[in-house]
Amino acid sequence: MSLIDRDRAVLWHPYTQMLTAPAPLPITRAEGVWLYTEDGRRILDGISSWWVNIHGHSHPKLNAALAAQARELEHVVFAGCTHRPAVELAERLVEILPQGLERVFYSDNGSTAVEVALKMALQYWRNLGQPDRKKFTTLHNAYHGDTVGAMSASEDSVFTRAFSTMMFPVERVHGLEDMENRLRDAPDSIAAVLIEPMLQGAGGMIVWPAEVVAGVRRLCDEYNTLMIADEVLTGFGRTGRMFACEHADISPDITCLSKGLTAGYLPLGVTAATSTIYDAFLSEDRAKTFFHGHSYTANPLACAVAIASLDLFRDERVLASVSRLEQHLRDGFEPLRALGNVRVIGGVAAVALESDKPGYLDGIGPRLAAAFLERGLLLRPLGNVVYFMPPYCITESETAWALEQIVHVLG
Ligand SMILES: Cc1ncc(COP(=O)(O)O)c(C=O)c1O
């Protein structure tokens, strides 16, 4: 039996209508930007394997770090124990994160990093004796993950509608003016404002000006609430700066990291907070403890790969590669302006095609995905929004080839 037949017998894939979806790609190995299939095809990973891969697949230095760590310590409980990879990664993150983010809390993925941020914000106010600060303000078109809190904070959409009875209400706003009105009208009730800085990803690859990120910081200060920056997608260079908040030269009170954190190797989440937040949990009263944790919190294998990834950023001028990639994407997407709204930031380029039924369920998405795949390019359009987000290690000629396929299929 082929891998596909065996898969079909026992598996259930994410974000996949199992009745109508095409057969999954049977991947046997991967290297750099290329995926190799059981039936002998070579396919360019144009979505960085759901936005996680940054230095390329099967990177020798990351492989070596993982293997070395596996020989030393694979995992140990993180309540009551600590280990070198967790400590070293936290030290390295605190060094490079926006100023003031000095405490690292580990979890397992992007959604849990967001859950932790929401819970941390809520309990921060509770521990300070302000339990009425319990609402969250988020932006329309947001996507923060698929666990219940992260879904609640996301846009009300086809992703979340079936679960609406499980979710808590949030205040969704359209932009700064709307946000200011809500903050003014609801004094002392907002626990935090949560945004994806600079780039809203799953909501349609929407690029925001840096002034909005700076404006959110200003409003949070003015109305004395917390700012949470969800950098799960944008962190680690994806928008051209190490962290997207750097575009606006601001520091949030809490930030969420995952995806590129381990360069696409292993699941790991980080929620980093200021000392002010951390201090609010210090108490003789054990009820003020942050009661949150996961079996695999601070997994040493994941931490070791994350450290090796930061070494690559330091030693191999990775951000300069992202900046070169950005220029190629700008040039390559230029002709697509005739077809719809084009946006490019860092290592991400997108075109929102004119459509009668814009949105995730626009049938054009799967049709285009099949056409790209036919030409050896893996893309997963978000409905009518076609985007290209390759690993940063992509070469100039690989980029040119991929852009040629995109223009050919769309043109
Ligand atoms: C901005 C943002 N936050 C959170 C998440 C959730 O991350 P995960 O899929 O690792 O749970 C994603 C995933 O795409 C994301 O783009």
Q: What are phi and psi of 126, to 5 degrees?
A: -65, -45
Question: Ligand 1 centroid to 71 CA: how many Å?
Answer: 30
Question: Ligand 1 centroid to 145 CA: how many Å?
Answer: 5
> How many Å apart are CA 259 and CA 326, to the nearest integer?
20
Per-position b or e across 161-177, b if 16+ CB within 10 A of its CB:
eeeeeebeebbbbeebe
The mean per-residue pLDDT over the stretch 368-383 comes to: 98
Sequence letter at residue 83? H
The mean per-residue pLDDT over the stretch 309-333 comes to: 98
CA 359 to chain CA mean position, Å: 20
Question: Ligand 1 centroid to 113 CA: how many Å?
Answer: 9
What residues form DSSP beta bridges with 190?
135
Report which DSSP code applies to 382. Answer: B
Residue whose pair of structure tokens reads 């921060």 in the numeric block: 124
pLDDT band (50, 70, 90) for residue 129: very high
**Atom 10 in ligand 1: residue holding the nearest Cα:** 110
Q: Is 36 a catalytic residue?
A: no
Q: Residues 45, 106, 124, 143: which is the catalytic one?
A: 143
Q: What is the per-residue pLDDT for 383?
A: 95
Q: Residues 108, 124, 146, 259: which is the catalytic one?
A: 259
Check: CB of residue 207 under 8 Å from CB of residue 199.
yes
pLDDT band (50, 70, 90) for residue 358: confident
> How does pLDDT run across 74-119, given as a tens digit for each residue?
999 999 999 999 999 999 999 999 999 999 999 999 999 999 999 9
Q: Residue 31, Cβ neighbours under 10 Å: how many? A: 13
Residue 163 has pLDDT above 90, yes or no: yes
The mean per-residue pLDDT over the stretch 169-189 comes to: 95
197 SS3 class: coil
Report which DSSP code applies to 32. Answer: B
Q: What is the per-residue pLDDT for 404?
A: 98
Q: What are phi and psi of 117, to 5 degrees?
A: -60, -45
Angle ∠(14,408,238) on CA atoms, nearest 5: 50
**Atom 2 in ligand 1: residue holding the nearest Cα:** 144
Question: Ligand 1 centroid to 262 CA: how many Å?
Answer: 14
Count how many Cα atoms sit within 13 Å of the Cα of residue 152 in the half-sphere of its side chain. Answer: 16
Q: What is the per-residue pLDDT for 60?
A: 98
> How does pLDDT run across 10-69, given as a tens digit for each residue?
999 999 999 999 999 999 999 999 999 999 999 999 999 999 999 999 999 999 999 999
Count how many Cα atoms sit within 13 Å of the Cα of residue 287 in the half-sphere of its side chain. Answer: 4
| Alpha helix segments (H runs only) across 186-340 | 210-222, 275-279, 300-315, 318-333
> How many Å apart are CA 137 and CA 273, to the nearest integer?
18
Q: What is the per-residue pLDDT for 254?
A: 99
Q: What is the per-residue pLDDT for 261?
A: 99
Probe residue for ligand 1, chosen from 15, 106, 107, 111 as the CB with the greatest number of ligand atoms within 8 Å = 111
Check: CB of residue 167 under 8 Å from CB of residue 160.
yes
pLDDT band (50, 70, 90) for residue 359: confident
Pocket of ligand 1 (CB under 6 A): 109-111, 114, 143-145, 196, 201-202, 230, 232-233, 258
**Atom 4 in ligand 1: residue holding the nearest Cα:** 144
- Tokens describing residue 223: 């109305």
The mean per-residue pLDDT over the stretch 207-225 comes to: 98
Residue 339 has pLDDT above 90, yes or no: yes
Question: Ligand 1 centroid to 266 CA: how many Å?
Answer: 14
Check: CB of residue 74 under 8 Å from CB of residue 47.
no
Q: Is 143 a catalytic residue?
A: yes
Check: CB of residue 351 under 8 Å from CB of residue 339.
yes
Comparing 115-129, 306-320, 350-364, the range with the smallest average pLDDT is 350-364
Q: Residues 230, 253, 362, 387: which is the catalytic one?
A: 230
| Helices and strands, counts by H and E, the chain | 13, 16
The mean per-residue pLDDT over the stretch 316-332 comes to: 98
> How does pLDDT run across 1-10, given as a tens digit for each residue?
999 999 999 9
Q: Residue 373, Cβ neighbours under 10 Å: how many? A: 17
Q: Is 230 a catalytic residue?
A: yes
What atom of ligand 1 comes closest to residue 146's alpha carbon?
11
| Cβ-Cβ contacts under 8 Å for 162 (sequence gap 6 or more) | none
> How does pLDDT run across 218-244, given as a tens digit for each residue?
999 999 999 999 999 999 999 999 999
> How many Å apart are CA 398 and CA 395, to the nearest integer?
5
Cα torsion 103, 256, 160, 366 to 10°: value is: -160
What atom of ligand 1 comes closest to residue 202's alpha carbon?
16
Question: Ligand 1 centroid to 14 CA: how many Å?
Answer: 13
